[in-house]
A and B are shown apart, each in its own frame.
Chain A
Amino acid sequence: MPSVLQLVFLFFAAVTVVGALAVVLVRNLFHAALWLAVTFLSVASLFIVLNADFVGLSQVIVYVGAISVLMLFAIMLTEDVVGARGLSLRSAWPAALPVAAGVCVVLVRWFARYAWLPPQPPKPGGTAGTIGLAFIQKYLFAFELASVILLAALIGAIYLAKEERS
Chain B
Amino acid sequence: MIPASWCVALSAVLFSIGLFGVLARRNAVAILMSIELMLNAANINFVAFSRSVSPGELTGQIFAIFVMAIAAGEAAVGLAIVIALYRRRSNITVDEVNVLKW
Contacts and interface: CB of A to CB of B under 8 A. Distances in A.
Contacts of B72: 62, 66-67, 150, 153
B50 to A, nearest CB: 7
A52 B69 contact: no
Nearest to A99: B23
B66 A146 contact: yes
A24 B57 contact: no
A98 to B, nearest CB: 10
Contact of A120 (B13, B51, B92): B51
B17 A21 contact: yes
A29 B30 contact: yes
Contacts of A6: 2, 6
Counting contact residues on chain B (CB < 8 A from A), the size range is: 35 or more
Contacts of B44: 43, 46-47, 50
B30 A52 contact: no
A4 to B, nearest CB: 11
A90 to B, nearest CB: 5
A136 B81 CA distance: 34
Interface string B1-18: 111111111101111111
B55 A120 contact: yes
Interface of A: 5-6, 9, 13, 16-17, 20-21, 23-24, 29, 32-33, 36, 39-40, 43, 46-47, 49-52, 54-55, 58-59, 62-63, 66-67, 70-71, 73-75, 77-79, 86-93, 95-97, 99-101, 103-104, 107-108, 111-112, 116-123, 127, 130-131, 134-135, 139, 142, 146-147, 149-150, 152-154, 156-161, 163-164
Given A29-B29, A70-B76, A123-B55, 9 more contacts: A52-B58, A62-B69, A78-B86, A87-B26, A90-B95, A108-B13, A119-B3, A142-B66, A146-B70
